Structure 1
């Protein structure tokens, strides 16, 4: 909920940093991995007026706790999108989202990346006119498999609103990657192989989005 709990604490810290360093409030973005990715989904829904875009690495959608309790097969990501839409109220806005997932992740299975795409596509659709009528959908507009020397191959898909334009949602599915951050050196929960997701998300995604 907006104004309560961890989301309130985190946005309070963001406001403090923006104020102290005179940062551009229109270019504040949020990224998180694993449980931090779940929080990123929450922040994108509850504070769409603060974050220009969001990147979710190995995470799940808004209201994920209900999904995990009931089982993913029992709650549609469209239903959780409707719950998210109820949180937006007058702040309703399509928040661009980047979804990153390893296809060998046994902690957060790839199913949840697919759910994230459907969830945010439905939410973006609702933001247009309050109806699930296909203004935005989860059918890919572009799909490309990328292979670079020394990196894990990945498939990037993008999703735009009806009529095209800048993608609202993008997804990276990284082949052979478990529950680890790619191109992170040698440590727990990092993978020495690329792709360099930090650079891809910053240069190709965050840099192209700003608050209106």
Structure 2
């Protein structure tokens, strides 16, 4: 288990932020889903659940060429991957053990707070929520404790009247604070890592304070 947590920290999906008498464990997450060049009315299905696994879609099992080109995820990556229900169970086990190891809780006292951080709220409140509803899968309750870093960043930009031409992307947000995007955009694990890097930068510069946000 410690090896798993160490790996999560290494790739930037788990970040610990400390202040006097306070310790915040922030878990960044980013899903990738099925997508198409044109809107064909098909609901997105998660195909990459960072930290845990690729995910095999069951409603549209064959990835579109557009999806593979955008994300870099190939058909061979998902064909033998577990379905979302199995991945969610693995994730719940990992999350429970992680909370025990770190001594934190998503519903605990302020001194041991844990929270999920995503770039936009689409990943959890729309993509995961809708797919769990369609497939009658339980949504991990801890994931409801989350922060939309994009919304907070956008609010900060507005309050400081800077970068009015910001296009809203994570890559541009990193550039605005002097960082470069590392890895491949639209790849879940890389987007999660870069979200963590931006979070760390905002915290270190006192641009963001999770004790009040």
- Mark the structure with the bigger radius of gyration: 2
For this structure pair, what is the TM-score category when the shorter chain's length is used for normalisation? 0.3 to 0.5
TM-score with structure 1 setting the length: 0.36
Greater relative contact order (CA < 8 Å, ≥ 6 in sequence): 2
